[in-house]
Structure 1
Amino acid sequence: MKTDIETVPGPSTTHPRAALEVLRAFLMLGLTSFGGPVAHIGYFRREFVERRRWLDDASFIDLVGLCQFLPGPASSQVGFSLGLQRAGWLGGIAAWCGFTLPSVLLLLAFAVVAPHLGGPVGDGVLHGLKLVAVAVVAQAVWDMARRLCPDTRRAGIALAAMTVLALTTTQFAQLIVIVLGAGLGVLLLRSGHAMAAPPLPLPLPARFRISRTASAVAMILFCALLAGLPFVRHLTDERAVAIFDGFYRSGALVFGGGHVVLPLLQAQTVATGWLSNGDFLAGYGAAQAVPGPLFTFATYLGWLSGSPAHPWLGAVLATVGIFLPGLLLVVAALPHWQALRERASTAAMLAGVNAAVVGILASALYSPVWTSAVHSAADFAVAAIAFMLLTRWKAPPLAVVALCAVAGAAGLA
């Protein structure tokens, strides 16, 4: 009997057909995933773990843990990895394009019409979209905590991660917490009494796996661009090279993604005189209001930073530049991560990492998601209604987004 739940592709799945499936799935997410990187993880889990069942919860959270380790936009890296493992290289590209291009096009449009936007209605819609993020992240934290912190030891690791994040202001805080979770997992969970052995990743066709050669090439290319672009920029003094170098460096050196990249982007664009601080902040507000990855803010900045004759070139170079390093690092790391996860001796470490990621998501639920969105009792009511619609009535995310946006525009939140 046919169902609407899809399964992991078998050897008979054709590469182009699987890639089209990935493109459709991620295009819908690219059009509806509001709320920033933490909310995107919640959307991904709902779509690919619960509905489509492309992988199980443990495999998904392991992938999230890997991407939290790496510099770059974590949600885009997770999406790229899901597409890569589902349908090979075409699947990875399809996932990135489907999830990213809607936001890119919307921010390009905003760069053109920005002088004509604003007012209380626009501000209200933006505020309503922030309340969507509260509901989505709360749902993700609740579901993941029940599955990945079922005992006191793993709950304690999650609480320790939350505490470290609350007391630490360094941009490397998430990386520190992941390492802490791995260490505590080895110390507290290795006996096997506090945990069951985690399931192995769902089987993947061999032709869809990344080779060690591809991994090495990706790492070499990442390092070569990071070290070589400044020299090329100095030698040529071309604005196009400077844009690509600046945005590549921002994407390569930021841990945690999302809001953490903003100081780097401001230094690359405002401090260099490419655009004003007012234009920068206006674009940042627009990036909050559109679905998809926050790193597409670079598209808007690149358009304004490029030459007046060819602003589209600046937008393309900035977009590719900021995403490329994170994707290269995923390709470089995935083969080794898969091999590591298949060893039974790493079960305790991965369980600790899983619990730490729950702590990271819970910390993000408070700041910046809750603190930037909930300012009144009405805000709390709208967020609570959205949460119940998602968790108890299983309402479509797009309907919840529309409800919150309307509530914000109407001044109810």
Structure 2
Amino acid sequence: MWKVKPLVASPVETRYRPILENLVPPDPMSHFHLKRGSPDEEFPDLCRNSTWMGKILTRAMYRRQFHRCTPSGVIFDDVIRPGLEEPGDWSTPVTVGCVAGDAQSYVLFCDFFDRVIEAHHRHKITSQTPEDDFNYDNLKGGDDLDRSYAACCEVSVVRGVEDFCFPTHCSRGERRQLLTLASRALQRLEEEQLPGRLLLLEELNQEQQRELNLNTPSSFQLRIGVARDWPDARAVWVSEDGSLVVWVNMEDHLRLVSTRDDANITEAFKCICINLQKLEEFYRRLRHPFTWKQQLGWVSSSPADVGTGLRIRVHLRLQHLPRHKRLQDVLKRLRVCMDATESPALYCVSNVATFGLSEVSLTQLVVDGVKLLVAMEKRLEGGRDIDELVPTQK
């Protein structure tokens, strides 16, 4: 298990702390005339909290963040609210338990966010700039998964848009401006030989929403603010050939999704790479590029998505492996997770981290992991052992 290191001031924090402290008023909340106690009086109860936020946050760290506020008004209590609303359970995977209200949150509260990111992604943040790799031709074996086991796949990526707060904190006006930008950028995408249509959620009836697999906001989404004013300025763009879906103003500014019923990860990844780069160029021409941070790569509202924002999901038909005693150890070594679906014997395998690997390397990790899980399932079907197939720790 990834262990949280003792609290040590990072070189980045030490370097920028004087600047950060000068950027904010002594107590920004005083402008709202809200009564707050001291940091010690306001410190949350974390004794039963199993999120990374709960594991990492200390009183000393809370005191340092307490009087900070980003220019758009994000304070530290806004950041940790998700983990307080849903503290998690020790029997379930550890969630990050925090959210960034805007891109500046990752800078202003860096001594907290950096530790959460390192713990969740199991990768050290360095001064080295993360590099993109969208060369889908370098992906090996993503087009030949055993269809007897691989039912379908999905590749998705999230992006934040520069100069706008993230969905948990943005105003109605910002959200509507983001929809206008998305409409203009997606119109350009249609002109690039990918016809599609933009559907406003407020104009869709229940049957149309079901066809799009659109669920109503959960109580958790409402509590943390991501679903405020639902469905105002929320939309989905669907390509005519069904190869690409773009969600606008849901949990993130943009989420591109490519789903394949033939479980061809290579084609789904190719679709995402090509169209994401086109949209990136269109947004740059509109003077609102996607949000990028020097040491983190692409950032959006959740620290669980920093780096690449990429998720690869493969649905596998498995009978024996889910009950095997070594399954959790295998998944940990492969750096993937496996969740049950509503369908019996159908499981969703996906990457855990999005930070520390390039897009191609991350997709390759999932492809190789899925193939190994299928090989293990075949062995168990034949009554054989899988110990010799268990990989070394990655």
TM-score higher than 0.5 here? no
Compute the TM-score of the two structures, normalised by the length of structure 2.
0.25
Compare the two structures and name the one with the higher strand fraction: 2
Higher relative contact order (CA closer than 8 Å, sequence separation 6+): 1
Compute the TM-score of the two structures, normalised by the length of structure 1.
0.24
